[in-house]
Structure 1
């Protein structure tokens, strides 16, 4: 199936037996607002996945603000969502695909093949005048053993090696954060040495839909697979999806900048 699907496609297939729709709305400032919004109105049959409770692991000294969930936790979440091996999973949010792309990437990491992000998210669904449901969807728990693909991720030490080897590293944050001119979240500003900037929102139109493949900023075919990071490994997944669509399987630095700066000796460039 396509990596990005339209509301027209989903509206035609919403009640297919193999379709699993997952609402990933989440606000980093108001952390309960995403679930409240889900209960107040969501795409029919959608179930909810919370960025921090479901799509992240526990925060420690190192590992960043949104560490990857363990294999056992991710399996439990996938089963809680009712996802089976043959399921076609459609993720959406109201954050221009940032949270939905995190689930899309985690499913790939877990070995699930049929997964997509809804183009334009719930905003596009609403703009099309399509119906919403309220309250939580009842879900029958599935059984789905998973196998994590560790080749998709790199450690902090591997990022250090990549710097020395001149490998491409991409910072997915807004340019002012990349340049160290503004840092609203982390306690240090700047970027990982040698990283180039590709803001994840550069792939999006103002109405939250994805730009055409040819118009998405910065994705160049023929480049060696880059290492991609952001603040905490979430919005980097938008870039990972864009590169995937361009035929490039990039790697994620899960802890991203928030992990990098947790090591006092790690250098930072302005």
Structure 2
């Protein structure tokens, strides 16, 4: 174990940079400009990092009944991890430029495979730059051996749309929507074809997980935010969603930081909910 926590500060990472078994994933991505992330990576990243593309590496093929970012096939994901030099004993730290909003998807996928040592860089690349730590340009030669990765898919809870419908009908789940309030209430929808939210969902914007500097808020502050939303139940009754199952992973990470058990992920999220055109929506 290189780090004691799943949340790593820039100073802690800098002290271990180049350590044996440490693999960094740069998850810089722009939903509205998908090619911008790779270019940003080439322009400057933490030394030794690999680039993890949200659309190509951290999601599977999109179909007519899926959301925008379905889970990748387990075999494809494991081959990708192996190509990055990740094995079961690696310590993986993911980061991006937006407080972990994208990087949390990489963290969650690793935990879904049963990976033990996965973490986020607190504050991401902006915090790294602010600390005046080194950057690297272009694509570096991997310093770790590439090979096979063998995980155990299914180590984190996953809901599909049918299970969400049943859980809401029977009152057995608490559905937290991590999108911002404007999207949740249908006042603004820059990405998906339909605005609004799932009836019965509770708005819990992932931005509440972060301080103004883009770092995670203290665990006590996170608990004060999430405890009233979770209520008297347990976190294993909580399902997190967003637009496509990405920033929902950020909420899952934050809830775990509070000390709760890991909530489940509604992978398809809002983009899958509206894909059929006949499911109920709320705009308020």
Q: TM-score normalised by the shorter chain: which range applies?
A: over 0.9
Matched, 1:244 2:248: no
Unaligned runs of 5+ in 1: none
* Cα distance, 1:113–1:150 mapped onto 2, change above 3 Å: closer
1:253 corresponds to = 266
Q: CA deviation at 1:36?
A: 0.9
Alignment of 1:108-119 (within 5 A): 108-119=111-122
1:149 corresponds to = 154
Q: CA deviation at 1:142?
A: 2.3
Aligned partners of 1:218, 1:69: CA distance in 2, in Å?
A: 31
Aligned partners of 1:131, 1:3: CA distance in 2, in Å?
A: 22
Cα-Cα RMSD:
1.3
| 2:95–2:120 Cα contact (<8 Å) kept | yes
Matched, 1:223 2:229: no
Q: CA deviation at 1:223?
A: 3.4
Q: Provide Cα deviations, 1:186-243, integer angstroms capped at 9, x if missing partner.
A: 1111111111010001111121111111112632275322011000001111001011
Matched, 1:24 2:27: yes
| 1:26–1:95 Cα contact (<8 Å) kept | no
Normalised by the length of structure 1, the TM-score is: 0.96
1:69 corresponds to = 72
Unaligned runs of 5+ in 2: none
Matched, 1:105 2:108: yes
2:208 corresponds to = 202
| 1:191–1:257 Cα contact (<8 Å) kept | yes
Counterpart selection for 2:125 from 122, 132, 142:
122
Aligned partners of 1:187, 1:33: CA distance in 2, in Å?
A: 23
| 1:219–1:242 Cα contact (<8 Å) kept | no
* Matched length: 270
Q: Deviating runs (4+, > 2 A) in structure 1?
A: 221-225
Aligned partners of 2:54, 2:30: CA distance in 1, in Å?
A: 9
Normalised by the length of structure 2, the TM-score is: 0.92
